[in-house]
Amino acid sequence: MNGVHDMGGMHGLGPIAPDPHEPLFHERWEASALALTLAAGAWGRWTLDKSRHARELIPGPDYLRMTYYEKWITALEGLMVDGGLVTAEEIASGSPAPGSVMADPPLKAEGVAPAMARGGPTDRPVATAPKFAVGDAVRTRNINPTGHTRLPRYARGRAGVITHAHGAHVFPDANAHGLGEQPQPLYQVRIEAAELWGPDADRRSAVYLDLWEDYLERA
Protein backbone atom coordinates (compact mmCIF):
# COMPACT_ATOMS: atom_id res chain seq x y z
CA MET A 1 0.00 0.00 0.00
CA ASN A 2 1.13 3.58 -0.52
CA GLY A 3 2.00 5.62 2.54
CA VAL A 4 4.70 7.33 4.55
CA HIS A 5 6.33 4.00 5.38
CA ASP A 6 7.33 3.62 1.70
CA MET A 7 9.92 6.40 1.56
CA GLY A 8 12.29 5.06 -1.08
CA GLY A 9 13.20 7.70 -3.64
CA MET A 10 11.32 10.51 -1.89
CA HIS A 11 12.85 13.98 -1.63
CA GLY A 12 12.82 16.29 1.37
CA LEU A 13 13.49 13.79 4.14
CA GLY A 14 17.13 14.70 4.65
CA PRO A 15 20.29 12.63 4.20
CA ILE A 16 20.75 9.14 5.58
CA ALA A 17 23.44 9.38 8.26
CA PRO A 18 24.09 5.92 9.74
CA ASP A 19 25.94 5.80 13.05
CA PRO A 20 28.75 3.21 12.82
CA HIS A 21 28.71 2.93 16.63
CA GLU A 22 24.96 2.78 17.08
CA PRO A 23 24.01 0.42 19.94
CA LEU A 24 21.76 -2.55 19.35
CA PHE A 25 19.17 -0.96 21.66
CA HIS A 26 19.09 2.70 22.67
CA GLU A 27 16.97 2.03 25.76
CA ARG A 28 16.15 -1.10 27.73
CA TRP A 29 12.48 -0.86 26.75
CA GLU A 30 13.46 -1.39 23.11
CA ALA A 31 14.84 -4.83 23.99
CA SER A 32 11.56 -5.54 25.79
CA ALA A 33 9.64 -4.48 22.68
CA LEU A 34 11.56 -6.99 20.59
CA ALA A 35 11.06 -9.72 23.21
CA LEU A 36 7.33 -9.05 23.42
CA THR A 37 6.99 -9.17 19.65
CA LEU A 38 8.78 -12.53 19.45
CA ALA A 39 6.87 -13.98 22.39
CA ALA A 40 3.45 -12.90 21.14
CA GLY A 41 4.22 -13.95 17.58
CA ALA A 42 4.97 -17.47 18.80
CA TRP A 43 1.25 -17.97 19.40
CA GLY A 44 0.87 -18.17 15.62
CA ARG A 45 -2.18 -15.88 15.50
CA TRP A 46 -0.66 -13.80 12.68
CA THR A 47 2.04 -14.05 10.03
CA LEU A 48 5.19 -12.01 9.56
CA ASP A 49 3.59 -10.34 6.56
CA LYS A 50 0.52 -9.39 8.58
CA SER A 51 2.75 -7.88 11.27
CA ARG A 52 4.47 -5.75 8.63
CA HIS A 53 1.12 -4.60 7.30
CA ALA A 54 0.04 -3.71 10.84
CA ARG A 55 2.86 -1.15 10.96
CA GLU A 56 1.77 0.23 7.60
CA LEU A 57 -1.69 0.89 9.07
CA ILE A 58 -0.31 3.36 11.63
CA PRO A 59 -1.58 6.84 10.61
CA GLY A 60 1.04 8.85 8.74
CA PRO A 61 1.59 11.65 11.31
CA ASP A 62 2.04 9.07 14.08
CA TYR A 63 4.33 6.92 11.96
CA LEU A 64 6.64 9.85 11.22
CA ARG A 65 6.99 10.92 14.85
CA MET A 66 7.45 7.42 16.28
CA THR A 67 10.79 5.71 16.84
CA TYR A 68 11.42 2.28 15.34
CA TYR A 69 10.30 0.21 18.32
CA GLU A 70 7.39 2.51 19.10
CA LYS A 71 6.01 1.41 15.73
CA TRP A 72 6.57 -2.20 16.69
CA ILE A 73 4.69 -1.87 19.98
CA THR A 74 1.82 0.08 18.43
CA ALA A 75 1.36 -2.55 15.73
CA LEU A 76 1.72 -5.38 18.25
CA GLU A 77 -1.12 -4.01 20.36
CA GLY A 78 -3.48 -4.16 17.38
CA LEU A 79 -2.31 -7.64 16.41
CA MET A 80 -2.83 -8.97 19.92
CA VAL A 81 -6.34 -7.56 20.13
CA ASP A 82 -7.26 -8.89 16.68
CA GLY A 83 -5.70 -12.24 17.56
CA GLY A 84 -7.76 -12.60 20.73
CA LEU A 85 -4.76 -12.60 23.08
CA VAL A 86 -5.82 -9.49 25.00
CA THR A 87 -8.58 -6.90 24.96
CA ALA A 88 -8.21 -3.18 24.30
CA GLU A 89 -9.31 -2.59 27.91
CA GLU A 90 -6.54 -4.83 29.24
CA ILE A 91 -3.95 -2.92 27.22
CA ALA A 92 -5.30 0.40 28.48
CA SER A 93 -5.26 -0.73 32.12
CA GLY A 94 -2.08 -2.79 31.98
CA SER A 95 -3.81 -5.56 33.91
CA PRO A 96 -5.63 -8.76 32.91
CA ALA A 97 -9.41 -8.73 33.04
CA PRO A 98 -10.94 -10.29 36.18
CA GLY A 99 -11.41 -14.01 35.74
CA SER A 100 -9.14 -14.30 32.71
CA VAL A 101 -7.05 -17.46 32.51
CA MET A 102 -3.27 -17.24 32.13
CA ALA A 103 -2.05 -19.62 29.45
CA ASP A 104 1.36 -21.22 29.22
CA PRO A 105 3.51 -19.28 26.71
CA PRO A 106 4.45 -21.19 23.53
CA LEU A 107 7.98 -19.74 23.60
CA LYS A 108 9.88 -19.90 26.89
CA ALA A 109 13.29 -18.45 27.66
CA GLU A 110 15.16 -21.67 26.88
CA GLY A 111 13.50 -21.86 23.48
CA VAL A 112 14.42 -18.39 22.27
CA ALA A 113 17.93 -19.16 20.97
CA PRO A 114 16.85 -22.26 18.97
CA ALA A 115 13.87 -20.36 17.56
CA MET A 116 16.07 -17.46 16.47
CA ALA A 117 18.56 -19.89 14.91
CA ARG A 118 15.79 -21.59 12.89
CA GLY A 119 14.51 -18.26 11.60
CA GLY A 120 11.45 -18.23 9.39
CA PRO A 121 12.27 -19.69 5.97
CA THR A 122 9.76 -18.68 3.29
CA ASP A 123 10.85 -20.94 0.41
CA ARG A 124 8.15 -23.40 -0.64
CA PRO A 125 7.79 -26.14 -3.30
CA VAL A 126 5.47 -25.37 -6.22
CA ALA A 127 4.31 -27.48 -9.12
CA THR A 128 4.22 -24.75 -11.77
CA ALA A 129 7.28 -23.72 -13.77
CA PRO A 130 8.55 -20.13 -13.48
CA LYS A 131 7.51 -17.72 -16.24
CA PHE A 132 10.88 -15.99 -16.39
CA ALA A 133 14.56 -16.95 -16.46
CA VAL A 134 17.88 -15.24 -15.82
CA GLY A 135 18.58 -12.74 -18.58
CA ASP A 136 14.93 -12.03 -19.38
CA ALA A 137 13.93 -8.40 -19.86
CA VAL A 138 10.98 -7.52 -17.66
CA ARG A 139 8.96 -4.54 -16.52
CA THR A 140 7.46 -4.10 -13.08
CA ARG A 141 3.70 -3.62 -12.97
CA ASN A 142 2.36 -0.17 -12.12
CA ILE A 143 0.10 -1.13 -9.23
CA ASN A 144 -1.20 0.86 -6.27
CA PRO A 145 -2.79 -1.72 -3.95
CA THR A 146 -4.61 -0.72 -0.77
CA GLY A 147 -3.18 -3.79 0.95
CA HIS A 148 0.34 -4.98 1.69
CA THR A 149 2.91 -5.30 -1.11
CA ARG A 150 6.68 -5.62 -1.34
CA LEU A 151 6.91 -3.82 -4.68
CA PRO A 152 8.26 -0.38 -3.71
CA ARG A 153 6.50 2.64 -5.15
CA TYR A 154 9.62 4.11 -6.80
CA ALA A 155 10.20 0.90 -8.80
CA ARG A 156 6.75 0.48 -10.35
CA GLY A 157 6.44 0.56 -14.12
CA ARG A 158 10.23 0.26 -14.58
CA ALA A 159 12.22 -1.94 -16.96
CA GLY A 160 14.91 -4.29 -15.72
CA VAL A 161 16.66 -7.61 -16.26
CA ILE A 162 16.40 -10.77 -14.18
CA THR A 163 19.80 -11.62 -12.69
CA HIS A 164 18.91 -14.49 -10.35
CA ALA A 165 16.04 -16.90 -9.63
CA HIS A 166 15.44 -17.57 -5.92
CA GLY A 167 12.89 -20.37 -6.31
CA ALA A 168 9.33 -20.07 -4.97
CA HIS A 169 8.56 -18.15 -1.79
CA VAL A 170 5.50 -17.13 0.23
CA PHE A 171 3.67 -14.30 -1.54
CA PRO A 172 3.38 -11.48 1.05
CA ASP A 173 0.54 -9.66 -0.71
CA ALA A 174 -1.72 -12.63 0.02
CA ASN A 175 -0.21 -13.86 3.27
CA ALA A 176 -0.60 -10.48 4.98
CA HIS A 177 -4.37 -10.65 4.58
CA GLY A 178 -5.15 -14.21 5.64
CA LEU A 179 -5.41 -15.50 2.06
CA GLY A 180 -2.82 -18.24 2.50
CA GLU A 181 0.82 -18.39 1.51
CA GLN A 182 0.19 -18.69 -2.27
CA PRO A 183 3.93 -19.26 -2.99
CA GLN A 184 5.27 -18.18 -6.36
CA PRO A 185 8.66 -17.64 -8.03
CA LEU A 186 10.84 -14.86 -6.66
CA TYR A 187 13.48 -13.17 -8.82
CA GLN A 188 16.34 -10.75 -8.39
CA VAL A 189 15.89 -7.89 -10.87
CA ARG A 190 18.50 -5.30 -11.83
CA ILE A 191 17.08 -1.86 -12.65
CA GLU A 192 19.44 0.80 -13.91
CA ALA A 193 19.61 4.02 -11.91
CA ALA A 194 18.72 6.09 -14.99
CA GLU A 195 15.55 4.01 -15.43
CA LEU A 196 14.53 4.84 -11.87
CA TRP A 197 15.72 8.42 -11.46
CA GLY A 198 16.07 9.80 -14.98
CA PRO A 199 19.00 11.09 -17.06
CA ASP A 200 20.70 12.86 -14.15
CA ALA A 201 21.26 9.56 -12.30
CA ASP A 202 24.69 7.96 -12.06
CA ARG A 203 24.92 5.78 -15.16
CA ARG A 204 27.27 3.37 -13.38
CA SER A 205 24.69 2.59 -10.69
CA ALA A 206 21.80 0.16 -10.50
CA VAL A 207 19.38 -1.17 -7.92
CA TYR A 208 18.78 -4.89 -7.34
CA LEU A 209 15.31 -5.83 -6.10
CA ASP A 210 13.85 -9.19 -5.10
CA LEU A 211 10.45 -9.27 -6.82
CA TRP A 212 7.69 -11.86 -6.97
CA GLU A 213 6.38 -13.11 -10.30
CA ASP A 214 3.04 -11.31 -9.99
CA TYR A 215 4.93 -8.01 -9.93
CA LEU A 216 6.50 -8.59 -13.36
CA GLU A 217 5.60 -8.49 -17.04
CA ARG A 218 7.73 -9.19 -20.10
CA ALA A 219 9.36 -6.03 -21.42
For the chain, the domains span: 28-118, 137-218
Compute the radius of gyration of the chain from its Cα atoms. 20
pLDDT of residue 11: 84
pLDDT of residue 108: 86
Could you report the per-residue pLDDT of 125-181, keeping only the tens digit for each? Answer: 999 999 999 999 999 999 999 999 999 999 999 999 999 999 999 999 999 999 999
Answering whether pTM is above 0.85, one says: yes
Distances from the Cα of 112 to the Cα of 29, 105, 115, 149, 156, angstroms: 18, 12, 5, 29, 38
CATH 2.30.30.50 fits 137-218, yes or no: yes
Please state the separation of Cα 166 from the chain's center in Å.
Answer: 18
pLDDT of residue 92: 94
Instruction: Indicate the SS3 state at residue 106.
Output: coil
Could you report the per-residue pLDDT of 83-112, keeping only the tens digit for each? Answer: 999 999 999 999 999 988 888 888 888 988
- Four-way CATH pick for 28-118: 1.10.472.20, 3.90.1720.10, 3.40.50.920, 3.30.540.10: 1.10.472.20
Alpha carbon distance 199, 193 (integer Å): 9
